[in-house]
Chains A and B, each alone.
Chain A
Amino acid sequence: MSSSARWPARSVTATVMILIVALTSGCGGSGARADLAQSLKETHAALRSVETALQQLDHGRTTRAAVQVTAEDMADQIGTAQRRIVTTSADTGEERELRQRCQLTIASALVAVQDAEDDLAASTASPSTLARLEAADRHVASVATLVGEP
C-alpha cells in the first residue's frame, strides 16, 4: 500500500490516541474545590437514588431485584466519587482539611449504601436502613455547604 493510501488510517489512529490521552488525563478538570463539589454531588445523587428505591420497595411498588441493582450501581458511583478525591491535590491547609472531610463523608456514605445492599440481600431491609442513608445524605449536604455547593 502506498504512503498516501495509508493517511486516513494514520490520522484516525492519531486522533483516537489524542482523545484517549486527553480524556484519561482529566482535561475537563478545574481545581480542588470543583472536584470535591462534584464528588459530593454524585454521592448525594447516589444516596437519594437508593433512598427513593427503598421507599418504593417499602410501599410495594418495586421489586427487590431492581432495588438491589440500584444499590449496587450507586455503590459503584460513590466509589468513583471517592477515587476522584484520592487524585485531587490540595494547595492550601484549608483545602486539605476540606478534602479530608469529604473523604470521611463519602466513605461513610459508601458504608451506608453497602449496609443497604447487605440488608436487601438478607431480606432484612428496615426503616433503620433508610434512616442510615438519610443521615449520610444530611452529612453530605452539610459538607457540600462548606465546599461551596448549594
Chain B
Amino acid sequence: MKKIFAVALGILTAIGGFLDIGDIVTNAVVGSRFGLSLAWVVVVGVIGICVFAQMSGRVAAVSGRATFEIIRERLGPRAALANLIASFLINLMTLTAEIGGIALALQLASSVHYLLWVPLAAIAVWLVIWRVRFTTMENVAGLVGLALIGFAVALFLLGPDWETLGRQVLHHGLPDTEKATTYWFYAVALFGAAMTPYEVFFFSSGAVEEGWTTKDLAQSRMNVLVGFPLGGILSLSIAACAAVVLLPQAIAVTSLSQVVLPVVEAGGKLLLAVIIVGVVAATFGAALETTLSAGYTLAQFNGWSWGKFRRPAQAARFHLTMIICVIVGLGVLLTGVDPIKVTELSVVFSAVALPLTYLPILIIANDPQYMGEHVNGSAMNVVGMAYLVVIVVASLAAIPLLLITGAGS
C-alpha cells in the first residue's frame, strides 16, 4: 500500500510539476496564432523529455552522480566550462521568467502591479529553499500545480467542435496571417519549452538528493513515462483553449491576462481562481527548481559540497550561488523588463543549449563500463540517437529563426 501511494504521489507531482511559465505562455501563444497545428511538437517534446529524464535518472541512480559532474568528467574542464556558461545563463533567464510568472499570477488575483509582487516572490523562493525539506518542497509544489487540470476542464466546458480541432492537429496548414518562418520559430520554442535543460539538472540532482539506487528505477520510470505525458496533455489543453476562444477573434496572446480569458469563458470565477492557484504553484515550483539547478550546476562543476540534504553551513557556496541568482533575477525584473518576453526568449535559448547537456548523458547511458546491466538497450539507443538529431536541428535553427522572425512577431 505504501509503495502504491509512493508511485501515485510521484506520478501526480510529475504531472503537476511538468508545466512552468514557459509551457503556459508558449502553448497559449501558439494556440491563439496557429490553433492546434503545432500539437505534434508537444508530442515530440514530451517523448524527448521522457527519454532524456529517464536516461539521466538512470545514470544518477546507477552512478550516484548528477549530470554536471558527468559532463565535466566526459567533456573535460574547458568544454565543460563553455557548457556551464551557456547552461547557467539560460537557467538564470528561466529563473527570472519564473519569478516574473509568480508575480504576474498574483497581479491577476489582486490587480496590484506585478513589480510589487516580484520582491515578495523572490524572498518566498529563497525562504522555501533555505527552510523546507527537498521532498516536501517538491511534493507540495507538484500537487498544488495539479490545479492546472483546470485548463482541461475548461476545454470540455467550452464544448469545442472536436472535428475542427482534430483537423488542426492533422493538417498542419498555416493561417493566412502567419509566415512559415514564424511557424517554425514557434515549433522550436515549443520544443524548448517542453525540454528545458534545468528539468534534467533538477531531475538528476534530485535523484542524488533523495538517495536513489537501482531499486528505485522502476518507480522513476513510472513517474516519467506516466506523469510527463499526462503533463503534456495539460500543455495541449492550454493551446486548445486558446485555439477555441482566442484564435477566431484574432487575439494573439502577449500576456498572462489573455491566457485566462478562455478559462473564464468556460468556468467563470471559480475556474479562474483554480487556474491562478495552479499558475502560482507551477511557476513557484519551477522557480525553486531553477534556483536549485543554478546551485547544482555551479557546485557540481567546481566540485563544491552541494545538496539540500546538507545543512547550509556545510554547503555554503552552493547556497550562496542560489541567493545570488535569486537576487540577479529580482534585479533584472525590477528594471521593468517584460517577464513574458524573458519567458519567450528563455524557451528559445533552452533549445539552443539542449545538445550540450543531452549528448554527455546519451554517451554515459551507452557506456557499459559505467552503467553495467543498466546500459541503454538497442531500442532506447535508436530513440536516443533520433532525438539527438532532432535536438541538434532545433538548436541550429533556433537563432536564425529568432532573428528572421524578430522573435516571432
Using a CB–CB cutoff of 8 Å, the interface residues on chain A facing chain B are 4-5, 8-9, 11-12, 16, 19, 22-23, 26-29, 38, 41-42, 44-45, 48-49, 52-53, 56, 60-66, 68-70, 73-74, 77, 149-150
Kindly report which residue of chain B lies nearest to residue A120, judged by CB atoms: B111
Kindly report which residue of chain B lies nearest to residue A80, judged by CB atoms: B254
- Asked if B250 contacts A69 (CB within 8 A), the reply is no
- Asked if B406 contacts A28 (CB within 8 A), the reply is yes
> In the complex, A23 Cα to B344 Cα: how many Å?
13
> In the complex, A64 Cα to B85 Cα: how many Å?
44
Given contacts A5-B78, A12-B82, contact A56 B261 (CB under 8 A): yes
- Asked if B85 contacts A27 (CB within 8 A), the reply is no
Dominant secondary structure of chain B at its interface with chain A: helix
Minimum CB–CB distance from A142 to chain B (whole Å) comes to 15
Given contacts A8-B81, A23-B403, A52-B261, contact A66 B272 (CB under 8 A): yes
- Asked if B258 contacts A69 (CB within 8 A), the reply is no
Given contacts A8-B82, A41-B250, A68-B111, contact A49 B403 (CB under 8 A): no
- Asked if B254 contacts A22 (CB within 8 A), the reply is no
- Asked if A22 contacts B272 (CB within 8 A), the reply is no
Whether B264 sits at the interface, judged by CB under 8 Å, is: yes
- Asked if B264 contacts A56 (CB within 8 A), the reply is yes
- Asked if B251 contacts A66 (CB within 8 A), the reply is no
Minimum CB–CB distance from B89 to chain A (whole Å) comes to 8
> In the complex, A27 Cα to B269 Cα: how many Å?
42
- Asked if B406 contacts A26 (CB within 8 A), the reply is yes
Using a CB–CB cutoff of 8 Å, the interface residues on chain B facing chain A are 78-79, 81-82, 85-86, 89, 107-111, 176-177, 249-252, 254-258, 260-261, 264-265, 268-269, 272, 399, 402-407, 409
> In the complex, A53 Cα to B269 Cα: how many Å?
12
- Asked if B250 contacts A49 (CB within 8 A), the reply is no
Kindly report which residue of chain A lies nearest to residue B405, judged by CB atoms: A28
15 residue pairs from A and B, CB less than 8 Å apart: A5-B78, A8-B79, A9-B85, A12-B82, A12-B89, A28-B406, A38-B409, A42-B252, A44-B250, A53-B261, A65-B108, A69-B108, A69-B257, A70-B255, A150-B177
B251 partner residues in chain A, CB cutoff 8 A? 45, 48-49, 52
> In the complex, A59 Cα to B86 Cα: how many Å?
49
A4 partner residues in chain B, CB cutoff 8 A? 78
